[in-house]
Amino acid sequence: MRTNLDRRHFLGLAGLGAGAAALAACGGPSTAGTADAVDSATIDFSGVKPAASIDFWTNHPGKSQDVEKAIIEKFHAKFPDIKVNLVTAGANYEEIAQKFQTSQAAKTGLPGLVVLSDVWWFRYFSNGSIIPIDGLVKQLDIKIDDFQKSLVDDYKYDNKQWALPYGRSTPLFYYNKDHFKAAGLPDRAPATWQEFAEWAPKLKATSGAQYAYIYPALAGYAGWTLQNNLWGWGGAWSKGWDITCDSKESVAALQWAQDSIYKDGWAGVSSKEAADDFAAGITSSTISSTGSLLGVLKAAKFNVGVGFLPGGPEVPSSVCPTGGAGLGIPSGITKEEQLAAATFLKFMTEPENTAAFSAATGYMPTRLSADMSSVLAATPQIKTAMDQLAATKVQDNARVFLPGADQEMAKSAAKILTQQGDVQATMTELKKTLEGIYTKDVKPKLKS
């Protein structure tokens, strides 16, 4: 499925991405139907007065409802003529996506500002459902250069800015320091999965936990976190637009994961939320988002350690994706509402509020000038996520650009990890499915 697509159009678009503790499911709306693309040159906000009221749709990533309310109250104090209504638009990103699609189709009830995840914003763009914000950035003097470059570039396409980063995260390796100490293990995350495989029997023998390691819940996490395993073995869901989930390297990575559950018996699969399983002491370790960090630290009755994601036999480092969500402005609302939304967007992402959001959730600060000193003093583990940002890897196109691919990856992972299905056959079938999605829903909308 090799093409001659111009990769320059994907500079930034393929920058980072993926799920988090509060991300949950992965289907998203269909890209069927083509709304007219929005050209930033046609959007003129001169002489426009901000609307008196807008809705902010969110799923409160990282259990952030309280801090979102606090920031809105501060906004009202500074901008009393613009009321922001906080709307719980879903329990996760998928529910927001479905609600947003329904409102788009009905052409009514749209928000002013909406949380959109890394795996869905591109389909909003391709459907013409969101506007480029370049003109608003200039008019409101939003300091784009002060954002973490890799995070803000994630929402660039065709030389336009389509959203700003909000709840951004990396997955972290969480481990029970008490269990590790009892097993005579170093107080750190394993450097590689092979090293952890040597540690796992010791943890099983001494910890009293059901598992030495638990894989994150597959619905919402498989496509995201399993990239770590695939990359460590030299595989991937895709290389560019070539689907490679069935390569010998990818199959070897997933076979190793299956063996850790059925053959070696030290791993399990979370049925709902791995961070909760870890905090409850069911497992000695797991991988979960930085967005889970504060909740884990509060709930756990033991000493919690965090570290970089382990490497693999072929690639020992820089095998971590980032993830999370951004904030976008719908195209189907008035200019007055769009300007009001942009005014709130600027306020929401200012350094002080970025630091407050990070302190309340564990998500990474999106602004370079955000003062994180007090946050890190209270929760030094957050620095691990910030440090790991320099060692992250661009997510696979198949995971972030193919609509519904995350669901298909989750289904395939379930066959392998919970039903002990044949890895090669499962990945061969997945490749066929992903190529079909690309050919039907993505390739026709790409610029050559």
- Which positions ≥6 away from 258 have C-beta within 8 Å? 416, 417, 420, 423
Which parts of 163-269 are beta strand (E)? 164-169, 171-176, 213-215, 238-239, 242-243, 267-269
The reply to whether domains 17-169+323-387 and 171-320+396-445 share a CATH topology is: yes
| Averaged pLDDT for residues 90-118 | 90
Q: Which of 104-108, 171-175, 222-226, 369-373 has the lowest mean pLDDT?
A: 104-108
Residue-level pLDDT at 205: 96
For residue 216 the two structure tokens come to 């994150």
Is the pLDDT at 182 greater than 90? The verdict is yes
Residue 341 CA: distances (Å) to CA of 55, 77, 408: 8, 16, 34
Residue-averaged pLDDT of the chain: 88
Q: What 3-state class would DSSP assign to 248?
A: helix
Highest mean pLDDT among 95-104, 191-200, 369-378: 191-200
Q: Which of 93-107, 197-211, 278-292, 344-358 has the lowest mean pLDDT?
A: 93-107
Q: Which of 28-32, 70-74, 305-309, 395-399 has the lowest mean pLDDT?
A: 28-32
In one letter, which amino acid is 379? T
Is the pLDDT at 31 greater than 60? The verdict is no
Q: What is the CATH number of domain 171-320+396-445?
A: 3.40.190.10
Is the pLDDT at 11 greater than 70? The verdict is no
HEC readout, 323-377: EEEEEECECCCCHHHHHHHHHHHHHHCCHHHHHHHHHHHCCECCECCCCCHHHHH
In the chain, domain spans: 17-169+323-387, 171-320+396-445
Q: Are 229 and 253 in contact (CB under 8 A)?
A: yes
Is the pLDDT at 37 greater than 60? The verdict is no
pLDDT digits (tens, 9 = 90+) for 144-181: 999 988 788 878 877 899 999 999 888 999 999 999 99
Q: What 3-state class would DSSP assign to 4?
A: coil
Q: If you write DSSP's letter for every residue of 19-44 in order, what string do you get?
A: --TTT---------S-PPPPPGGG--
Q: So what's the architecture of 17-169+323-387 in CATH?
A: 3-Layer(aba) Sandwich (3.40)
pTM here is: 0.81
Position with higher pLDDT, 410 vs 94: 410
Cα torsion angle, 254, 258, 261, 265, sign: negative
pLDDT digits (tens, 9 = 90+) for 293-339: 888 999 999 999 999 999 999 999 999 998 889 999 999 999 999 99
Is the pLDDT at 18 greater than 80? The verdict is no
Residue-level pLDDT at 121: 84
Confidence of residue 42 (pLDDT cuts 50, 70, 90): low
Q: Are 258 and 266 in contact (CB under 8 A)?
A: no
Residue keyed to tokens 């590790």:
180
Nearest to 165 by CA among 12, 318, 311: 12
